[in-house]
Amino acid sequence: NLAFRINGAYATADSYRDMVSSERFYLNPSLEWMIDDKSTLTVEMDYLDDTRTPDMGTVNLAEISENAIYDMPHDVFLGFENDYSDTRNATYSARLNRKLSGKLDLRAAFYYSHLHLEEEAASLGRVVQVNDEPMYHMRTRGYSASNRKDDNSVLQLDLVGDEIRTGGLTHTFQVGADYRTNSYSTFTQTVGTVDQINIYEPIDHSLPNNLDFGPAQVASADTRAFGLVAQNVTTFNPWLKTFLGIRYSHTKTTTDVEETSNDAVNPLVGIILSPLRNVNVFGSYTNSSYPRTSALLDVNGKELGSERFDQLEAGIKTNWLDSRLRFNLTLFKINNKDINLPVYDENWVETGFYQKGGNDERKG
């Protein structure tokens, strides 16, 4: 009644370019405990540490509109010797499944994740001018230091019913609730110009000690979200099924300057026809909301609200030769409506305000 598994990986690599390398460490242990014949508890951890050297690549030896990419030798590196990018991500989960009967399950799950991104790296700046002539092989070089921390948690409870009969109908359903939290903070400091380099000459990779960093740019936010969901698949007969679902969510976001809240109701509806035992024809409509940008303000200081996604899908799924051969065809159309777009002034400089507009349509 007890099982343990551990997966792990370690990888280190040099690049074709000198001074560029990477190192990754991954660990994934999991433990499952069958408490009794009706209850199972599974706990798991997922950890990744990824450190690598940011590589700016090469340069264009002409105006941006022209293609004059320099075939830079592999032993030329444009950054500094201490440039690095580090990603550390840890996820923990605990899932409990309790059978209430042969057709009813109660499921509870808790997830927590921590993400830490840290980077210090050079950046290429403007083309150096000599006697008002651009020297495309000479560039200024800047430097930046940044980090981001994310903490996320989810608590989810679900009641799942499998093939529950009411009269001549059969239902498979899920009723659930979830509570989510997200907290993040960012920090960035930059030096506009450290030095200038000539890609045809040896490049100094040592970083000066007296860097004059600009003011730090910091941001943080805390988000709390509560959701209720219900969905049901109804089987009328061997050739007809329908599925209906609805989700309500309430999101509250707190930043350094304001607190905003948002409510969304998202439906799901679809139908499945099975003219033959191994052929299913289906169609569905799904609506979802993206609340992360809902607090953005228009020119009148009014919140824009959530962006909206609509998805239409139709297709056919078949299986033959006892499921050894499958043929599927799906057509879809996804619209991101009422996108929160930045507002620019007459010189195409962002004003800091936003407006509703646009329709990002994807078909396939």
> Could you give the CA distance from residue 266 to residue 245 in angstroms, rounded to a whole number?
8
Q: What pTM does this model have?
A: 0.78
Q: How many CA within 13 A on the CB side of residue 257?
A: 5
**pLDDT for 134-169, tens place per residue?**
999 999 999 999 999 999 999 999 999 999 998 889
Residue-averaged pLDDT of the chain: 92
Average pLDDT over residues 8-27: 96
Q: How far apart are CA 262 and CA 251, in angstroms?
A: 5
- % of residues, the chain, pLDDT over 70: 99
Q: Are 239 and 220 spatial neighbours (Cβ–Cβ below 8 Å)? A: no
pLDDT band at 354 (very low <50, low <70, confident <90, very high): confident
Higher pLDDT among residues 284 and 347, named by residue: 284
Predicted local distance difference test score (pLDDT) of residue 303:
77
Nearest to 334 by CA among 316, 314, 313: 313
Q: By C-alpha distance, which of 48, 70, 49, 51 is closest to 59? A: 70
Place of tokens 């799904």: 286
Torsion of CA 94, 99, 103, 106, to 10 degrees: -40
Report pLDDT for 266.
93
The residue that leads in pLDDT, 43 or 216, is 43
Query: Which pLDDT score is estimated for 339?
Result: 85
pLDDT at residue 136 in the model:
92
- Model pLDDT, residue 81: 94
**With 80 as the cut, is the pLDDT of residue 294 above it?**
no
Q: How large is the C-alpha radius of gyration of the chain?
A: 27
pLDDT by residue (tens digit) across 309-340?
999 999 999 999 988 999 999 999 999 877 88
Among candidates 217, 213, 215, which has minimal Cα distance to 186? 217
Q: What is the pLDDT of residue 210?
A: 86
Residue 304's pLDDT band (cuts 50, 70, 90) = confident
CA distances in angstroms from 59 to 55, 69, 139, 190, 335, listed in the order given: 12, 6, 9, 21, 37
221 — pLDDT class (breaks 50, 70, 90): confident
Does residue 289 surpass a pLDDT of 80? yes
DSSP bridge pairs for 315? 282, 330
Q: Tell me the torsion sign for CA atoms 55, 57, 63, 66.
A: negative
Q: How confident is the model at residue 261 (pLDDT cuts 50, 70, 90)?
A: confident
Which is more confidently placed, 109 or 278?
109
Question: The tokens of 151 are what?
Answer: 């903490």
Range with top average pLDDT, 51-55, 255-259, 260-264 = 51-55
